[in-house]
Amino acid sequence: MVRDMRCGQRLARGVTRHLRGRGFASIEEFVPERGLRVDVMALGPRGEFWVVECKSGRADFLSDSKWRGYLGWCDRYFWAVDVDFPLEILPQESGVMIADAHGAEILRMPVKARLAPARRRALMQRFAMDAARRLQAMRDPALGMFGQAS
């Protein structure tokens, strides 16, 4: 199973395992608003949201032009990379996790931002709806992600 995953998927798996151990619930490939798709959105035990972007290498990082748009959708922002990634190219204000398919460790905690209450409320609802739809689609694949039976 792990061999069949792409690098970013392996990193996301390790990140979600680590976050679960910290009391977070995570959703991979979450869309906070149209045009944005974060690799991992995590909801913490105190209601905080963390975004984690998984980068397979230098080229993957340099080609990402959307990441600044994710900052307004979280309380903390992280990069998840493997042990061979050139850390010096990552922005200093962002958090850093070293990850593989089995787990992750936080190397640097980012500066904490605070979501506006209205945005947090809307994001909480979107997160809950997305998670519930995904669970329902797993139990009844005929429904799909949007609830229409095929």
Helices (H) and strands (E) in the chain, counts: 3, 6
Give CA–CA dist 118/132, Å, rounded: 21
Residue 5: pLDDT above 70?
Answer: no
Mean pLDDT value across residues 52-60:
94
- Are 132 and 25 contacting, i.e. CB atoms less than 8 angstroms apart? no
Residue 1: pLDDT above 60?
Answer: no
Give CA–CA dist 135/4, Å, rounded: 23
**In the predicted model, what is the mean pLDDT of the chain?**
92
- State the Cα torsion 85-4-27-66 to the nearest 10°: 50
127-145: per-residue pLDDT in tens? 999 999 999 999 998 876 5
In the sheet with 95-100, reading across from the earlier edge strand, the strands are: 25-30, 38-43, 49-54, 76-81, 95-100, 103-108
75-129: per-residue pLDDT in tens? 999 999 999 999 999 999 999 999 999 999 999 999 899 999 999 999 999 999 9
Domain boundaries, the chain: 2-142
Residue 14: pLDDT above 60?
Answer: yes
Give CA–CA dist 8/20, Å, rounded: 18
Give residue 150's pLDDT: 47
- Are 148 and 140 contacting, i.e. CB atoms less than 8 angstroms apart? no
Residue 28 bridge partners (DSSP)? 40
- Are 59 and 14 contacting, i.e. CB atoms less than 8 angstroms apart? no
* pLDDT confidence bin for 72, thresholds 50/70/90: very high
* pLDDT confidence bin for 6, thresholds 50/70/90: confident
Helix (H, G, I), strand (E, B) or coil at 45: coil
Q: Which of 75, 64, 84 is nearest to 109 (CA)?
A: 75
